[in-house]
Amino acid sequence: MTLPRKETRFLLIALVALLLLPFATMLLGDRAWLLSLSVGSYCLLYMINAQALNVQVGMTGLLNLGPIAFVGLGAYTGALMLTAGDNALIGFYAGFVPELSGHLRWVLFFLDPNFLAYLTVIPVAIVLSMLLSLLLGLPTLKLSGDYFAIVTLGFAQIFYLVVKNEAWLTKGSAGVTDVPALFSFCTGPNRIEFFSHTAHYFFGVAVLAVCLYVVVRLRDSYLGRGLLAVRDNELAAQSNGVNVAKYRMLSFMVFSALAALGGVAMLARAKFVSPNDLNFMESILFLCCVVLGGMGSVRGVLLGGIALGALGEVMRIGLPVVSETIGYEIPAQVRYVLFGMILILVMRYRPNGILPVAAEEHAGGLEKLGAHRDAEPTFFKLGTKG
């Protein structure tokens, strides 16, 4: 199997390139550096969430129209836990972690109270998100896929409304503000300039690496093959011992875990979360990344995330500039129109995505068939159990 190895190389190169990006753009001056960080970290969120969605939609063929709810759950869990009781969680860690000074602060970054608090928040967010997917999935995953899509769509709307209206818990439409930064040296008097701008970015790269690892490991196992079989031929999957409902649930839970992780990464970037972040369009854009990249293709979805993430952020920053120069206010929604056009073009010319799984080395070779019928079997293990 040359396929996975080539893919591993691709993914490693991509991760290293992402790690080096801030150092490279630093040479271009401050403005370019900050812009690259802003666009880069935004892309990372898309890459993470699209990869999470890839497990459910791309690999299992189970359409989820409300992924943003699970990302939002991760972000809100983090925000509320971190800010609760006047940042009590961070205070708790600060209580018994020695205060470091100088370069030790970032060399021993894992001892930073803020970071420890974030690390505490992550498993809670993941568990909550998985519990929610379990609750939502149990009654609905036995229905046909279309019903499930509708249920997730409805759920995301309900989640949005609850977050917006239950202000006693979620701070309502104002959102949770002043969420502590990822490291104590990112803000305040002890601030280290470089990390205050890059910490969340590197955190995003780390989260993406975890996502990619989980997704690739899962896919190259009997679990992933079960998911793919459910997607490609449910009947064949069942007859080979795959419990379809269970595997759909598996994909939903893996998605929800990774999406919650993506939510925490989103929080680390913005240090703020509000109902506006739960926009339905975000769900659609994550889906677009998966479809554009190629359903189930880890590399393709990674590229899809980069493409849509970059486009979105560049337009968000660029549109006002353009509006100003031409003296005409271009509405921000124009970017959705552009996304739609790109999607149509890609679907027209590459209906299986930018980098479909099947496109790799399977072209041609049909002519090789036929002559090998009489080959004597050399090795078989029929009838031996296990």
Partner 1 sequence: MGAVLELRGLTKHFGGVKAVQSVDMKVEPGSITALIGPNGAGKTTCFNMITGHYVPTAGDLIYRGGEAEERLNGLRADQIAKLRIARTFQNIRLCPEQTVLDNVRIGFHTRSRSAPWQVLLNTPSFRAEEAEMTASARAFLEFVGLDASQETGIEALLADSLPYGDKRLLEIARALASNPSLLLLDEPAAGMNPQETETLMDLIRKVRDHGITVFLIEHDMKLVMEISDYVVVLDHGEKIAEGKPAEVRENPKVVAAYLGQEESDRRSERLTKVKLEESGADPAPETSASGGEATEASPDAVDGPTDEETP
Binding-site ranges for partner 1 (CB under 8 A): 1, 3, 142, 214, 217-218, 220-223, 225-226, 228-229, 232-233, 235-244, 357-358, 361-362, 365-366, 368-369, 372-375, 377-386
CB of 376 to partner 1, least distance (A): 8
Short-list 56, 47, 73, CA closest to 218:
56
CB 113 within 8 A of CB 97: yes
User: Over the range 206-224, which residues count as b (16 or more CB within 10 Å of their CB) and which as e?
Assistant: ebbbebbebbbebbeeebb
Q: How far is the CB of 154 from partner 1 (least distance, A)?
A: 22
Residue 229 beta carbon to partner 1: minimum distance, rounded to whole angstroms: 5
DSSP 328-356: S---TTHHHHHHHHHHHHHHHH-TT-SS-
Place of tokens 């403005």: 31
Cα gap 37→373, rounded to integer Å: 58
CB nearer to partner 1: pick between 107 and 246: 246
Give Cα 127 distance to the centre of its chain.
17
For the bound state, the minimum distance from the C-beta of residue 367 to partner 1, rounded and expressed in Å, comes to 11
Nearer to partner 1, 292 or 357 (CB): 357
Residue number, 31 or 362, with CB nearest to partner 1: 362
Phi, psi (rounded to 5 degrees) for 273: -145, 140
For partner 1, the closer CB: 41 or 54: 54
Closer residue to partner 1, CB minimum distance, 115 or 255? 255
Q: How far is the CB of 185 from partner 1 (least distance, A)?
A: 33
Closest C-alpha to 44, from 252, 273, 199, 219: 199
CB of 223 to partner 1, least distance (A): 6
Distance CA 214, CA 322 (A): 41
Nearer to partner 1 by C-beta: 235 or 321? 235
- The DSSP annotation for 80-111 comes to HHHHHHHHHHHHHHHHHSPPP-TTHHHHTGGG
Q: How far is 226 from 242, CA to CA, in rounded Å?
A: 6
**Least distance to partner 1, CB of residue 50, Å:** 20
In terms of Cβ atoms closer than 10 Å to its own Cβ (0-12, 13-18, 19+), residue 38 is: middle
| Nearest to partner 1 of 146, 193 (CB atom) | 146
